[in-house]
Chain A
Amino acid sequence: MTEKSALLEKLASVVGRENVTDDEGLLSTYRRGGAVEGGEPLAMIRPGSTKEVRELIKLARAEKYNLVFSSSAPPRLRGDSVPRGEGIIVDMSRMDKIVRLDRRNKVALIEAGVTYERLIPEVDKLGLKVLMPLLPKRGKSVLASCLEREPIIIPKYHWDMTDPMLCTELVFGTGDLFRTGSAAGPGTLEQQWAAGAAQKNPMGPAQTDFVRVVQGSQGTMAAVTWCSLKLEVKPRIHKIWFVPDHKLERLIDFTYRSLRPRLGDEWLILNAYALATMITENGQEIPELAKEQAPWTVIYGVSGYEYLPEERVAYQERDLSRHAQQAGVIPVSEVPGCSWKKMERILAAPSPEPYYKTRPKGDFLDIFFLTTLDRVPGFISVMEDVASEFGYPRDRIGVYIQPIQQGRNVHLEFTVYFSPEDRGKGRELYEAASRALSEAGAFFSRPYGIWSELAYARCPDTVRVLRKVKEMLDPDQVLNRGKLCFTPEEVS
Chain B
Amino acid sequence: MTTATLDTWKEISEAAYQDLENVVGTENVSREPAVLDGYAWQPTINDDPAKWVKRPVAVVLPSSTEEVQEVVRICNRHGLKFKAFSTGWGVYSGPTYDNVVQIDLRRMNRILDIDERNMYALVEPYVCGAQLQAEAMKRGLNCHIIGAGPACSPLASATSGWGVGWDGIYMSYGHRNLLGAEWVLPDGELLRVGSSDSGLGWFSPDGPGPSLRGLMRGSTGALSGLGIFTKCALKLYPWPGPSRVRIRGLLLDAKAEIPENVRFHLCFFPDRNRLADAVYRIGEAEIGYLATRTAVAAFIYTFAPHLLRRIAGTSNLRDVLSKGTKWGFVIMLVGASEEEIDYQDAVLRRILADHEGLSIEAMGVPAIGSMVFMNFFRVTAIPMVFRMGGLFSTALDRNDTWDTQLDWAEIGESIKRKWIERGGILDDLADNPFMALYESNMWAHCEEIFQYDARDPKHLASLEPMFIEFSIAAIEKCMEPLSATDARLRKLVSPLMGHYNEWQKKLSGALDANRAADTGMYCDEIDFDFSKVEPELKAKLDRLTEKFRWTEEGPPS
Residues of chain A at the chain B interface (Cβ within 8 Å):
50-51, 104-106, 149, 159-161, 177-179, 182, 184-188, 190-192, 195-201, 203-218, 220-221, 230, 233, 256, 260-263, 305-308, 311-312, 314-315, 318-319, 322, 370-374, 405-409, 441, 443-447, 451-452, 455-456, 458-459, 461-462, 464-466, 468-469, 471-472, 484-485
Contact = CB atoms under 8 A, between A and B. Distances in A.
A186 B478 contact: yes
B43 to A, nearest CB: 23
A472 B206 contact: no
B380 to A, nearest CB: 26
A230 B442 CA distance: 8
Given A184-B497, A213-B214, A409-B203, A484 B555 contact: no
B461 interface: no
Contacts of A203: 173, 175-176, 218-219
A219 B496 CA distance: 26
Contacts of A210: 214, 503
A182 B190 CA distance: 31
Nearest to A172: B503
Contacts of A455: 198, 207-209
Given A186-B548, A210-B214, A212-B211, A256 B117 contact: yes
A188 B270 CA distance: 34
Given A185-B480, A205-B480, A208-B217, 7 more contacts: A105-B401, A185-B498, A197-B478, A200-B443, A215-B211, A262-B238, A314-B339
Chain B contact-residue range equals 35 or more
Contacts of A405: 179, 235
Contact of A468 (B118, B497, B504, B510): B510
A209 B120 CA distance: 23
A407 to B, nearest CB: 7
A319 B401 CA distance: 33
Contacts of B556: 188
B443 A461 contact: no
A186 B500 CA distance: 11
A181 to B, nearest CB: 8
Contacts of A201: 219, 398-400, 443
Contacts of A311: 343, 346-347
Interface string B227-244: 000000001001010000
Contacts of A208: 214-215, 217-218, 500, 503-504, 507
A164 to B, nearest CB: 10
Given A374-B118, A408-B179, A472-B507, A186 B207 contact: no
A206 B220 contact: yes
Given A307-B350, A407-B119, A204 B480 contact: yes
Given A185-B480, A204-B480, A261-B238, A308 B209 contact: no
A185 B211 contact: no
Nearest to B346: A308
Contacts of A187: 478, 548, 555
B205 interface: yes
Given A159-B172, A196-B404, A307 B200 contact: no
A196 B403 contact: yes
Interface of B: 115, 117-120, 140, 172-173, 175-176, 179, 185, 189-193, 195, 197-201, 203-223, 225, 235, 238, 240, 280-281, 284-286, 336-337, 339-340, 342-343, 346-347, 350-351, 398-401, 403-404, 407, 439, 442-443, 475, 477-480, 484-485, 490, 493-494, 496-498, 500-501, 503-504, 506-507, 510-511, 522-523, 544, 548, 550, 553-557
Contacts of B554: 50, 177, 179
Contacts of B475: 186
Contacts of B337: 261, 315, 318-319, 322
Contacts of B189: 461, 464
B191 A465 contact: yes
A443 B553 CA distance: 40
Contacts of B205: 161
A443 B480 contact: no
Contacts of B346: 308, 311
Given A185-B497, A207-B220, A207-B222, A370 B399 contact: no
Contacts of B439: 159
A253 B339 CA distance: 22
B214 A209 contact: yes
B299 to A, nearest CB: 27
B33 to A, nearest CB: 32
Greatest chain B CB density within 10 A among A186, A209, A374 is at A186
